[in-house]
Amino acid sequence: MPTTHLRACDVPEVRQDLLRWAQQNAERGKRAQGAIHVNAFTEPSMFQSSAAAAELYYVNDVMTRLARDIGEGLPVCAFDVDSLPAPTGLLVWSDDSSAHTQNLGKPRAVLWCRTGLTLRVAVLDDAGPYRRELEKLGRRVDPTWASEVALSLAGDLALGFGTAIPLNVETDWDEVKHAWSVDRHGRPAKDRFHVGADRLNSIHGEQLGVIRTLLGTLLLIRQPAEARRALWQSDDVQPDAAARKRLRRAGAERPDATVRYITLRQNVRPLSDDAETSGRSARTYRSQWFVRPHRRTYPDRNDPTGYSRKWVGPYLVTPAGCESAPILGRERIVHVLRR
């Protein structure tokens, strides 16, 4: 079962709430009233423009778990320009993006923006736990803390953390986590919330899990065209009438934007091969299967003497004559939203 109440058809409203928050935050910055700064986004207006231009994606719980498994097995942090389905995007996960979150909130969505060879990422939490905490504490809550929490809530989402990731570069995962622990001069970063070095290291480890899942998700979305044609069954739906009316009142540019559900066929185990009666040394295939993502070296088209490393996979292997054969594994579904 999905762990969020958000559905694919709710994502346009989620983006509209986030855009409204970003506009108000940018206005606070212009009036010198203390705009919230999101790490990696150099100024509030960059976050605002990213939310406005973002392509919309929704990944259901089964595919989120698959992306999570893929992310945990990736040997290096290597976000490539080719891995991005769009230069700017807002992606919502139906299930938990990290299986071992104890110190974070509920990472539920990611807003990304590409600037040159840098990927700027803002991870957004489910706002529900923060609202419940405010309601539980009531008048006992510290006013300053309550104000900071309220300012970080954007509809159904809340600000989590932000980070900048270099594109087309291979980086060890431990190096990524270490980079979050030091400032630009290489000195230990300031412990803003006084949680201690051990817990800060644990928090960074959980944040790294979210980034792993993001890379796994983007690799799944960017499967080769042949695999997509073999797998996809798509249906387009719209937000319901009440949601479209709310979007019009909120000033949305496209209140009737469609939501594309992309479904992978059910995967079942094939029948066993009969080697005795085949009479051939070549293997007879009766199924298709996924290849896990891995890095491969290619000649650099811009430099005849150089080479570049790119992700290959995950992709579907379809032997000759197996175009309609079952796919090894369990049923997996991905829902992708596009404006």
Residue 337 is predicted with a pLDDT of 41
* Segment-wise mean pLDDT, segments of 10 residues, the chain, 339 residues: 71 91 90 84 92 88 84 90 89 83 80 95 88 74 73 89 91 87 63 67 87 90 58 60 86 75 44 44 64 78 72 76 66 42
What is the side-by-side strand order in the sheet with 259-264?
Answer: 232-237, 259-264, 333-335
Q: What tens digit of pLDDT does each residue of 110-152 get?
A: 999 999 999 999 999 988 877 877 777 776 667 776 777 788 8
Residue 336 is predicted with a pLDDT of 46
- What is the DSSP-derived secondary structure letter of residue 138? G
Residue 87 is predicted with a pLDDT of 93
3-class SS at 213?
helix
Residue 283 is predicted with a pLDDT of 61
Residue 134 is predicted with a pLDDT of 76
Residue 118 is predicted with a pLDDT of 95
Q: Are 185 and 77 in contact (CB under 8 A)?
A: no
Angle, CA 110 vertex, CA 106 and CA 111 arms, to 5°: 145
Q: What is the pTM of this model?
A: 0.73
Q: Are 126 and 4 in contact (CB under 8 A)?
A: yes
Number of residues that make up the chain: 339
Task: For 42-65, give the secondary structure using H, E and C.
Answer: CCHHHHHHHHHHCEEEEECHHHHH
